[in-house]
Amino acid sequence: MRTYPDVITQKLAHLPDTPGVYLWKGGDGTVLYVGKAKRLRPRVRSYVNTDHAETSKTRVLMEQVADLETIVVPSEEHALILEHNLIKEHHPRFNVMLRDDKTYPYVKVTVQEPYPRVLVTRRVLDDHARYYGPFTDVGAMRRALNVVKRVFTVRSCRWNMPAEMPERACLDFHIRRCKGPCIGAQSLADYRGMIDEVVAFLDGKPDEVMRRVRQRMDEASAALDFERAAEMRDALRHLERYEEPAIIVDVEGHDRDVVGFARDGDDACVTLLKVRSGKLLARDQRFLEQAEGESDAAVLAAYLAGSYRALPERPVEVLLPFAPEDLDVLEPALKPTRVLLPQRGLKRELLDLAEKNARHLLEEFKLAEDEADERAGDPVYELGRALGLAKIPRALVCFDNSTAQGKDNVGSIVWFENGRPRRSEYRTMRVKTVDEAHGPDDFASMREVVGRYFRRRVDEARPLPDLVVIDGGKGQLAAAHEALDELALGALPLVSLAKREEEVFVFGRAEPLHLSRRSPALRLLQQARDEAHRTAVGYNRKRRTIRTITSALLDVPGVGPTKRRELLRTFGSVDGVRRATVDEVAALKGFSAKSAEALLAALRASAPDRPAAVDDQASPPDGAEPAPEESTP
């Protein structure tokens, strides 16, 4: 265990047992990691009292720390907020961070001014204005602003009205983009009423705005003010056109935020679907990095404590796919928004939609970085979630053994990439260490096949799979882990699938997983298992065929591998050699008339009384020699 500098040792001895925030620093004073704690003393001491063998990120962090700073706060909620602010200020390299650190734009309505304006900003100030965003989809922001400009005649000038008033109206007044409140052509009450409609529109309530516009159109028409009625009609059309893309997803008509989550190794994506009045109006997304060693719950908590908590406008409830870390601390910080974890019904369907969006965006991100050849299907994500894997199992390998009454013991390996078979990576091999004379030993066979396969991949520096699947139960699973552990690969995710009850055994868990028969994750495991079984049985049958064809020739003295190949290439089978004449055999390289007579006499003496078996009639593969140690079907 590492010896830490005296400055850290001294501070550890006097840590308070209260809520707070701690900062691990490097030798140059750079903040490496910021964390919060319900009780600073046990939390910080846990870093130096363990070797962190299972969390490589924490181990690397502790190898670099040279100083420690702690800040005491009144409560856990204060610690949560301070942690986020310090992460935002120092950008520590070992904290979960937003991948894209740029500032997203907001739409700002300066409601604190007598004559408010609508503008775009990237800074959120405590100036009592209304902010909408952030907009990660700038196109959605531009569409909203375009409707505001066409429907509402909001001033675009920078005059500090009414303290500053221009002498004459600008061009916007003459092209009917502004009604000229600066010259008294529009009253303050009328202008403020229009701003109320702008706020209602940006709040996601276009139906209410459309109702008001339609009412004014009818009033203008009744008063024979047809020019005013035409303006209202055009405004109504723009609102209806903006309304069309909105997807009705909530028949209850509630306002809520729906959070989707997808994770692949060190990268994660969070999507936020904004449902207002039962309609999906916008989608926000954030990518997070440096998530190695962090649980999904911790990554989701980092998003909620940072980006989501900072949103200027939140509905009364937010739907989450699972409970984040420190939920009891997060909930007070998110008030008045209530946190819900739906498991079924309409709200669960909304979560599924959000999670599909998160998966889609994460796949696009991976493809853009050339880390994936093709998009992974939903079953791959489902499998990762069902098994609790930190990394999505884009590449999985499945093992199976096959034997016939203890003979021709073989193993097969099939490789799946993004949920699809990759046949160029299929492998088969003969089992060498199991003595056929003592009967089959499936555990020993599995140990040998798994060990030989991964030893070769390590030696050749080839990529390792994200998940190892074994066809069998706990015994086969344990044998496979022994083989992996000998190669220092014991940390690879390892599961087995038992045929009878379709139970999924995860190494390290006492109880099996019982996935739904309709689960896409279970179907993917079954497909890999069946493909490995088919390959193993096919190779076993091939081995039996070779052994049957060559068995008669193996018993003839003086006929070695080269002569056997020549005989089978010329006559096609053992039965074909029996029917040959002495002269035909003697004409082959390596044979004389005497050796040909001895060969034919031996074969005919051992010929069965019944007709030749079907296997004896088959044409052997290239020669009659056994297949190579490792082959590709």
pLDDT 10s digits, 308-341: 888 877 888 999 999 998 888 888 888 889 999 9
> Higher confidence at residue 615 or residue 577?
577
At 532 the pLDDT is: 92
What token pair was written down for 564?
């056997």
Which spans in 340-410 are helix H?
Answer: 345-368, 378-387
Of the candidates 429, 458, 627, which has an alpha carbon nearest to the alpha carbon of residue 545? Answer: 627
Taking residues 517-532, what's their average pLDDT? Answer: 90
CA 320 to chain centre: 17
Residue 623 has pLDDT above 50, yes or no: no
Taking residues 525-553, what's their average pLDDT? Answer: 79
At 552 the pLDDT is: 59
Residue 99 has pLDDT above 80, yes or no: no
At 310 the pLDDT is: 80
* Contact (Cβ atoms closer than 8 angstroms) between residue 423 and residue 381: no
Domains defined along the chain, listed by start: 6-95 (3.40.1440.10), 106-248 (no CATH), 256-368 (3.30.420), 383-540 (3.30.420.340), 550-631 (1.10.150)
Residue 298 has pLDDT above 60, yes or no: yes
At 405 the pLDDT is: 66
pLDDT (tens digit per residue) in 591-618: 888 888 888 888 777 665 443 333 333 3
Taking residues 199-210, what's their average pLDDT? Answer: 75
Residue 543 has pLDDT above 90, yes or no: no
> Higher confidence at residue 73 or residue 614?
73
State how far the Cα of 416 lies from the Cα of 414, in Å rounded to an integer: 7
Q: What is the mean pLDDT of the chain?
A: 81
pLDDT (tens digit per residue) in 483-500: 999 999 988 999 999 877
State how far the Cα of 244 lies from the Cα of 232, in Å rounded to an integer: 19
Identify any residues that bridge with 53 across adjacent strands, giving them in sequence order: none
Largest CA distance in the chain: 126
- The structure's pTM equals 0.53
CA atoms within 13 A on the CB side of 500: 1
Query: Other CB atoms closer than 10 Å to residue 247's CB: what's the count?
Result: 12
* Contact (Cβ atoms closer than 8 angstroms) between residue 40 and residue 19: yes
Taking residues 461-477, what's their average pLDDT? Answer: 92
> Higher confidence at residue 120 or residue 547?
120
Kindly indicate the confidence band of residue 294, based on its pLDDT and cuts at 50, 70 and 90. Answer: confident
Kindly indicate the confidence band of residue 550, based on its pLDDT and cuts at 50, 70 and 90. Answer: low
Residue 392 has pLDDT above 60, yes or no: yes
> Higher confidence at residue 378 or residue 249?
378
Query: How far is the CA of 313 from the CAs of 39, 258, 274, 397, 511, in angstroms?
Result: 32, 14, 11, 47, 45
At 486 the pLDDT is: 93
Of the candidates 205, 199, 212, which has an alpha carbon nearest to the alpha carbon of residue 111? Answer: 199
Kindly indicate the confidence band of residue 72, based on its pLDDT and cuts at 50, 70 and 90. Answer: confident
Residue 281 has pLDDT above 80, yes or no: no
At 23 the pLDDT is: 93
Kindly indicate the confidence band of residue 621, based on its pLDDT and cuts at 50, 70 and 90. Answer: very low
Query: How far is the CA of 75 from the CAs of 35, 46, 307, in angstroms?
Result: 14, 21, 21
At 630 the pLDDT is: 47
Please list, residue by residue across 211-236, b when 16 or more beta carbons sit within 10 angstroms of its beta carbon and e when fewer do. eebeeebeebeeeeeeeebebbeebb
At 252 the pLDDT is: 63
Residue 547 has pLDDT above 50, yes or no: yes
At 58 the pLDDT is: 83
> Higher confidence at residue 483 or residue 267?
483
At 136 the pLDDT is: 63
What DSSP string describes 28-89?
TS-EEEEEEESSHHHHHHHHHSS--TT-HHHHHHHHH--EEEEEE-SSHHHHHHHHHHHHHH
> Higher confidence at residue 166 or residue 625?
166
Kindly indicate the confidence band of residue 416, based on its pLDDT and cuts at 50, 70 and 90. Answer: very high
Taking residues 151-165, what's their average pLDDT? Answer: 84
Query: Other CB atoms closer than 10 Å to residue 147's CB: what's the count?
Result: 21
At 616 the pLDDT is: 35
pLDDT (tens digit per residue) in 32-48: 999 999 899 999 998 98
Of the candidates 30, 62, 25, which has an alpha carbon nearest to the alpha carbon of residue 45? Answer: 62
At 554 the pLDDT is: 59
Residue 101 has pLDDT above 60, yes or no: no
At 331 the pLDDT is: 87
At 628 the pLDDT is: 40
Least confident of 132-146, 390-404, 483-497: 132-146
At 448 the pLDDT is: 93
> Higher confidence at residue 301 or residue 436?
301
